[in-house]
Amino acid sequence: MGQLKTNYIHKGVCLLYNEIYKRNYKFLYMTARAIGQYSQTRRFLEKEVEENGMRLPPGPLLMSPDGYLKSFTREVIEKAPDQLKIKLLASVNEIFPNTKRPIVAGFGNR
């Protein structure tokens, strides 16, 4: 099966994220891609996003639990990956007590 290649890397994102990471914030990466694309997505985050020798800070990766076709339809055809991401963020918040919300900010590629 072929790949759809689109580069959504914002210029300066590695520097920005590393400056934030130095201030002791942690990163949680999220995508609407199917779980079957984990290795490809992890490789992209760890090895392909690079600027001036700098890479993205480490962090866990949350993905769609749905199969490839459903995930692809949601992300590419319906253009609604935000619906999944809202659910994922809500799930992360539910893990923590109401007085301590772990998510401070978000930054996306669209």
Q: What per-residue confidence (pLDDT) applies to 1?
A: 43
Block mean pLDDT (10 aa), the chain, length 110 = 60 95 95 94 94 95 94 93 92 81 79
Q: What per-residue confidence (pLDDT) applies to 48?
A: 92
Q: How many domains does the chain have?
A: 1
* Domain-embedded: residue 53: yes
* Domain-embedded: residue 63: yes
Q: What per-residue confidence (pLDDT) applies to 82?
A: 92
Question: Coil, strand, or helix at residue 51?
Answer: strand
* Domain-embedded: residue 1: no
**9: nearest Cα among 55, 40, 53:** 55
Domain that holds residue 60: 27-95
Question: Coil, strand, or helix at residue 63?
Answer: strand
Q: What per-residue confidence (pLDDT) applies to 2?
A: 47
What six digits make up the tokens of 11? 């210029």
Percent of the chain scored above 70 by pLDDT? 90
* Domain-embedded: residue 32: yes
